[in-house]
Structure 1
Amino acid sequence: MQDQNHPFLRPLWRRIALVGFCAAWSIFEFVTGSAFWGTLAGGMAAIGAYQFIIAYKPGDDTEAGKE
């Protein structure tokens, strides 16, 4: 998760979908009995929720093209 200002992540629905997918995968792993993978996916969901929803600041497109 190095490039938090990637153009793919600009729409809010994509960021929510990424976090939701990780959370759903975590639940799936816990239900099937894989606690390690459930914890790993849950951690990714938590990190993603913080980076992509709470602390997300969209980049300024006008400054990106100027040099």
Structure 2
Amino acid sequence: MKFLDPDDPFFRRPWVRWVTVLVPLFWGAVEFIWLGSPFWGVLFLAAGAYAAWMLFFKRKA
């Protein structure tokens, strides 16, 4: 079992992949800019970057 399986049927639709990537990136920016929490900001930005890597670059066509 992978942490984020890009070949799961749930991620077949492009909008699901985009939401999975953009929501953590957005929340990481919120943590940095508005809430002043760099620890959580880094965690959420890393989660969004990992999701982008897995869902757009490592995914089989």
Report the alpha carbon displacement of residue 39 of structure 1 after superposing the two structures with TM: 0.1
Q: Structure 2 length normalisation: TM-score?
A: 0.84
Please provide the CA RMSD for this pair.
Answer: 1.2
Whole-Å separation in 1 of the counterparts to 2:4 and 2:48: 15
Post-superposition Cα deviations, 1:10-34, rounded to whole Å, max 9, x if no partner, equal 1111101110001001001101101
Q: Would you say 1:34 and 2:37 are equivalent positions?
A: yes
List per-residue Cα deviations over 1:22-66 (Å, max 9, x = no partner).
Answer: 1001001101101000000000011111000122115xxxxxxxx
> Would you say the 8 A contact 1:16–1:53 is kept in 2?
no
CA distance in 2, matches of 1:3, 1:22: 17
- In structure 1, C-alpha distance between the alignment counterparts of 2:9 and 2:15, rounded to whole Å: 13
Gapped runs of 5+ residues in structure 1? 59-67
Gaps of 5+ in 2: none
Percent same amino acid among aligned pairs? 33
TM-score normalised by the chain length of structure 1: 0.78
Larger Rg: 1
